[in-house]
Amino acid sequence: MDENCLFCKIINKEIPSFIINETKTFITVLDINPANLGHCLIIPKEHVPFSSMITKEVYNEISKEIKRLSVLFLRVLKSRGSSMFIANGGVAGQRVPHCVIHVIPRYLEDGLNLNIQANEISEEEIKEVYAKFITPQKE
Ligand SMILES: [Zn+2]
Protein backbone atom coordinates (compact mmCIF):
# COMPACT_ATOMS: atom_id res chain seq x y z
CA MET A 1 0.00 0.00 0.00
CA ASP A 2 1.29 3.40 -1.01
CA GLU A 3 -0.80 6.22 0.44
CA ASN A 4 -0.10 8.47 -2.55
CA CYS A 5 -1.01 5.85 -5.15
CA LEU A 6 -4.20 6.38 -7.16
CA PHE A 7 -4.80 2.65 -7.58
CA CYS A 8 -4.19 1.89 -3.89
CA LYS A 9 -6.81 4.55 -3.11
CA ILE A 10 -9.26 2.84 -5.48
CA ILE A 11 -8.53 -0.53 -3.80
CA ASN A 12 -9.11 1.02 -0.36
CA LYS A 13 -12.27 2.74 -1.64
CA GLU A 14 -10.91 6.18 -0.75
CA ILE A 15 -11.76 7.03 -4.35
CA PRO A 16 -15.15 5.79 -5.60
CA SER A 17 -15.10 3.55 -8.65
CA PHE A 18 -17.29 1.23 -10.68
CA ILE A 19 -16.21 -2.08 -9.12
CA ILE A 20 -17.26 -5.06 -11.19
CA ASN A 21 -15.32 -7.75 -9.34
CA GLU A 22 -13.23 -8.02 -6.21
CA THR A 23 -11.26 -10.90 -4.72
CA LYS A 24 -8.62 -11.14 -2.00
CA THR A 25 -5.89 -10.40 -4.53
CA PHE A 26 -7.31 -8.01 -7.14
CA ILE A 27 -10.10 -5.60 -7.95
CA THR A 28 -11.65 -5.03 -11.39
CA VAL A 29 -13.08 -1.59 -12.14
CA LEU A 30 -14.31 0.31 -15.16
CA ASP A 31 -11.71 2.77 -16.45
CA ILE A 32 -13.17 6.27 -16.00
CA ASN A 33 -11.15 7.43 -19.01
CA PRO A 34 -12.03 4.50 -21.25
CA ALA A 35 -10.44 3.81 -24.61
CA ASN A 36 -13.69 2.04 -25.49
CA LEU A 37 -17.03 1.46 -23.79
CA GLY A 38 -16.48 -1.27 -21.18
CA HIS A 39 -12.71 -0.73 -20.78
CA CYS A 40 -11.74 -2.55 -17.56
CA LEU A 41 -8.74 -2.32 -15.28
CA ILE A 42 -7.66 -5.32 -13.26
CA ILE A 43 -5.69 -3.92 -10.33
CA PRO A 44 -3.62 -6.31 -8.20
CA LYS A 45 -4.08 -5.36 -4.54
CA GLU A 46 -0.38 -5.53 -3.81
CA HIS A 47 1.34 -2.26 -4.70
CA VAL A 48 3.92 -3.43 -7.22
CA PRO A 49 5.04 -1.36 -10.21
CA PHE A 50 5.88 -4.14 -12.68
CA SER A 51 3.90 -7.20 -13.72
CA SER A 52 7.05 -9.30 -13.21
CA MET A 53 6.66 -8.62 -9.46
CA ILE A 54 3.20 -10.20 -9.27
CA THR A 55 3.25 -13.65 -7.67
CA LYS A 56 2.49 -16.70 -9.77
CA GLU A 57 -0.69 -17.36 -7.76
CA VAL A 58 -2.04 -13.85 -8.35
CA TYR A 59 -1.07 -14.06 -12.02
CA ASN A 60 -3.15 -17.22 -12.32
CA GLU A 61 -6.17 -15.49 -10.79
CA ILE A 62 -5.73 -12.49 -13.07
CA SER A 63 -5.55 -14.78 -16.11
CA LYS A 64 -8.92 -16.23 -15.17
CA GLU A 65 -10.33 -12.72 -14.75
CA ILE A 66 -9.06 -11.71 -18.21
CA LYS A 67 -10.84 -14.73 -19.67
CA ARG A 68 -14.04 -13.95 -17.73
CA LEU A 69 -14.05 -10.35 -18.95
CA SER A 70 -13.41 -11.37 -22.54
CA VAL A 71 -16.48 -13.64 -22.45
CA LEU A 72 -18.52 -10.92 -20.68
CA PHE A 73 -17.64 -8.44 -23.43
CA LEU A 74 -18.82 -10.82 -26.13
CA ARG A 75 -22.05 -11.75 -24.35
CA VAL A 76 -23.11 -8.52 -22.65
CA LEU A 77 -21.57 -5.82 -24.82
CA LYS A 78 -21.77 -7.73 -28.08
CA SER A 79 -18.15 -6.83 -28.71
CA ARG A 80 -16.34 -8.52 -31.57
CA GLY A 81 -13.09 -9.09 -29.69
CA SER A 82 -10.83 -7.56 -27.06
CA SER A 83 -7.38 -6.09 -26.54
CA MET A 84 -5.24 -6.35 -23.45
CA PHE A 85 -2.10 -4.64 -22.40
CA ILE A 86 0.18 -3.86 -19.50
CA ALA A 87 2.54 -0.88 -19.47
CA ASN A 88 5.63 -1.69 -17.40
CA GLY A 89 7.57 1.49 -16.66
CA GLY A 90 7.37 5.06 -17.82
CA VAL A 91 9.06 4.19 -21.11
CA ALA A 92 6.04 1.98 -21.85
CA GLY A 93 3.57 4.75 -21.01
CA GLN A 94 2.88 3.77 -17.39
CA ARG A 95 1.70 6.86 -15.49
CA VAL A 96 1.17 5.42 -11.99
CA PRO A 97 3.76 2.98 -10.58
CA HIS A 98 1.15 0.35 -9.71
CA CYS A 99 0.73 -2.48 -12.18
CA VAL A 100 -2.68 -2.60 -13.90
CA ILE A 101 -3.97 -4.86 -16.64
CA HIS A 102 -6.11 -3.14 -19.26
CA VAL A 103 -8.81 -5.29 -20.85
CA ILE A 104 -10.62 -3.44 -23.62
CA PRO A 105 -13.65 -4.58 -25.61
CA ARG A 106 -13.28 -4.14 -29.36
CA TYR A 107 -16.06 -3.28 -31.78
CA LEU A 108 -16.20 -3.17 -35.54
CA GLU A 109 -14.55 0.00 -36.81
CA ASP A 110 -14.16 1.38 -33.27
CA GLY A 111 -11.29 3.60 -34.38
CA LEU A 112 -9.09 2.52 -31.49
CA ASN A 113 -5.51 2.33 -32.72
CA LEU A 114 -3.44 -0.18 -30.78
CA ASN A 115 -1.56 -1.32 -33.85
CA ILE A 116 2.10 -1.81 -33.04
CA GLN A 117 4.38 -0.37 -35.68
CA ALA A 118 7.44 -2.34 -36.75
CA ASN A 119 10.74 -0.72 -35.78
CA GLU A 120 13.87 -0.77 -37.93
CA ILE A 121 15.77 -3.67 -36.40
CA SER A 122 18.21 -5.69 -38.47
CA GLU A 123 18.20 -9.46 -38.77
CA GLU A 124 21.64 -9.43 -37.13
CA GLU A 125 20.20 -7.66 -34.07
CA ILE A 126 17.35 -10.16 -33.94
CA LYS A 127 19.89 -13.01 -33.99
CA GLU A 128 21.85 -11.34 -31.18
CA VAL A 129 18.82 -11.00 -28.95
CA TYR A 130 17.75 -14.54 -29.80
CA ALA A 131 21.16 -15.81 -28.65
CA LYS A 132 20.76 -13.89 -25.36
CA PHE A 133 17.32 -15.36 -24.75
CA ILE A 134 18.28 -18.98 -25.36
CA THR A 135 21.53 -18.75 -23.35
CA PRO A 136 20.96 -19.76 -19.71
CA GLN A 137 20.96 -16.64 -17.53
CA LYS A 138 22.89 -16.32 -14.28
CA GLU A 139 20.51 -15.56 -11.40
ZN1 LIG B 1 -0.57 1.34 -5.44
Contacts of 39 (CB under 8 A, 6+ apart): 30, 31, 102, 103, 104, 105
3 state SS of 51: helix
Q: How far apart are CA 139 and CA 7, in angstroms?
A: 31
Q: How far apart are CA 45 and CA 22, in angstroms?
A: 10
Residue 73 CA, ligand 1 centroid: distance in Å: 27
Residue 8 CA, ligand 1 centroid: distance in Å: 4
How far the first Cα of the chain sits from its last, in Å, is 28
Q: How far apart are CA 115 and CA 49, in angstroms?
A: 25
Residue 117 CA, ligand 1 centroid: distance in Å: 31
Question: Model confidence over 62-107: pLDDT tens digits?
Answer: 999 999 999 999 999 999 999 999 999 999 999 999 999 999 999 9
Residue 64 CA, ligand 1 centroid: distance in Å: 22
pTM: 0.91
- Summarize the confidence of residues 17-22 as an average pLDDT: 98
pLDDT band at 3 (very low <50, low <70, confident <90, very high): confident
pLDDT score for 1? 76
Per-chain residues with Cβ under 5 A from ion ligand 1? 2, 5, 7-8, 47, 98
Domain 6-112: CATH superfamily, name plus number: HIT-like (3.30.428.10)
Residue 27 CA, ligand 1 centroid: distance in Å: 12
